[in-house]
Structure 1
Amino acid sequence: MSGFIDSEPDDLDRAQAVVALGGGHGLHASLTALRRLVDDLTVDDLTAIVTVADNGGSSGRLRGEFNVLPPGDLRMALAALCGDDDWGDTWAKVLQHRFEGDGEMRGHVVGNLLIVGLWELLGDHVDALDWVGRLLGAKGRVLPMALTPMEITAQVRAVPGDDSATTTVRGQVEVATAEGEIVSIDLDPPDPPVSEEALAKIAEADWAFLGPGSWFSSVLPHLRVTALREAILATDARLVVVLNLEEQAGETGGFGPADHLRVLVEHAPGLQVHTVLADPSSFDAARLVELRETVASVGARLVLDDVAVADGSPRHDPRKLASAYARIMTSAGDTEHDDDGWA
């Protein structure tokens, strides 16, 4: 595969500052990969900025009862940053433990309760998350996308391409399971307060990673928070978009990789994407052509790499992701990778 050499100066003689934006299982995989790069000294400052719009499960119950941020995605991010030693492995399991049984505690997760308890005790979302991180020995910080609970709203076409059949769907769970074609999303409140720490980390970063994950309910919301979007547009960090391995029923049905990139740019005009990472085994030749054209249209470079788990399921392998991320951060000029190496 052919590639091009860009002209950006290479400052990779020092460890890099990285922010990762998203939520849920996608962000967990990405952070697990980036945490390995902290261990390898490729990254020395790692921050997760996490979506806080969940309204289902244990998180939704705690959000409704205590009027706090939904803690679930924040918990998963903290668990991903735990080390591979006995301490980190044990605390990650504790944090992720979900109660069984038939009582009122059924379905609640230990980490959710711990985070909400510290929020009540300390009265500060960011300070409490830092305390949990210190307890776990986390290899980075976890910050919420915003400081107040919010709802995702989506415009959904019942019939693809037919604007006359568009309806509004409200709520993260409802958006994730919507029937039809999601056209766009917004947030309520539309301009939530954002922590100064999150804005500072974006401004100071060398690299920013967006995705993978539920595209409309975990990835795109960051670009609908005004202060975050402006910070992402203004930062000198190189933005890496990590594409999903397949379409997601309810959110991105019928989407190819180029469609994922297209809606990002539509929700944040002027977004400067440095690199798009995709697994070539997840789409056919026609969609590869479309992806290359779309990547070129936004002025980015395309990296193709094997980042999926070996069992064939549509999940990212953190070890493979770590290798791909390291190559991206240390090979600023190469654009495509296949089984024969960097082109």
Structure 2
Amino acid sequence: MRKPKIAVIGGGTGISVILDSLRKKDVDIAAIVTVADDGGSSGELRKSLQHITPPGDLRNVLVALSDMPRFYEQVFQYRFAKEDGPLAGHPLGNLIIAGISEMQGSTYNAMQLLTKFFHTTGKIYPSSDSPLTLHAVFTDGREVSGESQLAKHSGMIERVYVTNTYNQDKPVASRKVVQTILESDLVVLGPGSLFTSILPNLVIEEIGQALLETKAEIAYVCNIMTQRGETEHFSDSDHVGVLHRHLGQSFVDTVLVNIEPVPKEYMTSHQFDEYLVQVEHDFAGLQEQVPRVISSNFLKLEKGGAFHDGDAVVEELLSHIRVSS
């Protein structure tokens, strides 16, 4: 029997937890990574090197899927000190990805080269080969442009969409992204920020349509904590409702939700100030929207934050996968 084909869609920090556990399994992995980040190092590089997609999320995914020695990882992830002038705050890996993207003529080509160089388990595709700008329309009608700007505005987000940053062309998916989704046995969304890590991929029309057409099982790994400026007061059912509303119909088959309580005294707000409270569990609301709800202990308390236990999530995902012929 062939290896199960699994596509994981989202942003680098969130899905890296799942990818790190998946690469230890006998599966065929493809990571589809958002390119709408315009904050921090990625944002600065976007200003300096136009037409290069932001490298930060891709860097984290590359590390998660690589078998590089720990020292190499530390070198790749090294961030220049704040007193280092124009290099201040840039991880070395971001500069490498940006440089090779320029050399190879596209970020897609750069990632194919780097996956070989770092011996990754699986493929890595930017969701688009052009840098994208994320736009959010709030329920009161206001519109905000730029991923990094969303959390600065109060109110509820009604919907998001993306545009090409440097031209008026319609955003399109990178090569092999649509084919990967259509040929997968399992597509995993998240974990990660709903409006800024997951949806920027799904609202690229080709990707959204592929998710509606694929025969793959589509699983959503719901966030453990709500996020300031994005999902305040959200239940797990609310998260799924937003996904379905953006694609115009129900498409998620399975939802994984953590039901293990996060100790109130545990969260250190100075480290993770974007997190608010634990996402409320609405089992009845989920049952109305998806065929399968998996409620379990997926919690991992680490470094003052509440994260997903990647191994527990992957074991649950693989236990339900069906390999098509």
Shorter-chain TM-score bucket reads 0.7 to 0.9
The alpha-carbon deviation at position 33 of structure 1 amounts to 2.1
Q: Given that residues 115 and 123 in structure 2 are in contact (C-alpha distance below 8 angstroms), is that contact kept between their aligned partners in structure 1?
A: yes
- Answer yes or no: is 1:171 the counterpart of 2:146: yes
TM-score relative to the length of structure 1: 0.82
The farther-off stretch of 28-37 and 209-218 is 28-37
Q: Deviations over 1:87-111 (max 9, x none)?
A: 3433332222111151221101111
2:273 corresponds to? none
Specify the code of the residue in structure 2 equivalent to 1:23.
G
The alpha-carbon deviation at position 271 of structure 1 amounts to 3.8
Quick one: distance in 2 between partners of 1:228 and 1:29?
23
Q: 1:295 to 1:313 in 2, by over 3 A?
A: same
2:267 corresponds to? none
Q: Given that residues 88 and 137 in structure 1 are in contact (C-alpha distance below 8 angstroms), is that contact kept between their aligned partners in structure 2?
A: no
2:88 corresponds to? 106
Select the residue among 46, 56, 68 that pairs with 1:72.
56
- Answer yes or no: is 1:298 the counterpart of 2:289: yes
Quick one: distance in 2 between partners of 1:117 and 1:52?
16
2:265 corresponds to? none
Indicate the percent of aligned positions where both proteins have the same amino acid.
32
Q: 1:319 to 1:327 in 2, by over 3 A?
A: same
Specify the code of the residue in structure 2 equivalent to 1:35.
R
Q: Secondary structure at the match of 1:240?
A: strand
Quick one: distance in 1 between partners of 2:309 and 2:194?
18
Quick one: distance in 1 between partners of 2:82 and 2:75?
17
The alpha-carbon deviation at position 320 of structure 1 amounts to 2.6
2:173 corresponds to? 194
Map residues 109-188 of structure 1 onto 2, 5 A cutoff: 109-157=91-139, 165-188=140-163
Quick one: distance in 2 between partners of 1:177 and 1:29?
27
2:257 corresponds to? 278
Q: Secondary structure at the match of 1:196?
A: coil
Quick one: distance in 2 between partners of 1:298 and 1:108?
42
Quick one: distance in 2 between partners of 1:287 and 1:321?
19
Q: Given that residues 185 and 322 in structure 2 are in contact (C-alpha distance below 8 angstroms), is that contact kept between their aligned partners in structure 1?
A: no
Specify the code of the residue in structure 1 equivalent to 2:309.
D
- Answer yes or no: is 1:32 the counterpart of 2:20: yes
Q: Secondary structure at the match of 2:87?
A: coil
1:315 corresponds to? 307
| Structure 2 residue runs without a partner (length 5+) | 263-276
The alpha-carbon deviation at position 194 of structure 1 amounts to 1.6
Q: Given that residues 7 and 186 in structure 2 are in contact (C-alpha distance below 8 angstroms), is that contact kept between their aligned partners in structure 1?
A: yes
TM-score relative to the length of structure 2: 0.86
Q: State the Cα RMSD in Å.
A: 2.2
Q: Given that residues 80 and 88 in structure 2 are in contact (C-alpha distance below 8 angstroms), is that contact kept between their aligned partners in structure 1?
A: yes
Q: Given that residues 5 and 184 in structure 2 are in contact (C-alpha distance below 8 angstroms), is that contact kept between their aligned partners in structure 1?
A: yes
Q: Which runs of 4+ in 1 moved over 6 A?
A: none
The farther-off stretch of 320-329 and 241-250 is 320-329
Specify the code of the residue in structure 2 equivalent to 1:112.
N
Quick one: distance in 2 between partners of 1:178 and 1:71?
25
Quick one: distance in 1 between partners of 2:259 and 2:133?
34
Specify the code of the residue in structure 1 equivalent to 2:54.
P
The alpha-carbon deviation at position 215 of structure 1 amounts to 0.7
Q: Secondary structure at the match of 1:244?
A: coil
Specify the code of the residue in structure 2 equivalent to 1:222.
N
Quick one: distance in 1 between partners of 2:141 and 2:246?
18
Select the residue among 74, 98, 107 that pairs with 1:93.
74
Quick one: distance in 2 between partners of 1:144 and 1:124?
10
Quick one: distance in 2 between partners of 1:88 and 1:295?
42
Quick one: distance in 2 between partners of 1:327 and 1:282?
24
Q: Given that residues 152 and 175 in structure 1 are in contact (C-alpha distance below 8 angstroms), is that contact kept between their aligned partners in structure 2?
A: no
Q: Secondary structure at the match of 1:27?
A: helix
Q: Given that residues 21 and 208 in structure 1 are in contact (C-alpha distance below 8 angstroms), is that contact kept between their aligned partners in structure 2?
A: yes
| Structure 1 residue runs without a partner (length 5+) | 1-12, 158-164, 332-343
Specify the code of the residue in structure 1 equivalent to 2:190.
G
Map residues 39-58 of structure 1 onto 2, 5 A cutoff: 41=26, 43=27, 45-58=28-41
The total of aligned residue pairs comes to 301
Q: Secondary structure at the match of 2:73?
A: helix
Q: Deviations over 1:30-58 (max 9, x none)?
A: 21122222xxx1x1x11110010011111
Specify the code of the residue in structure 1 equivalent to 2:313.
L
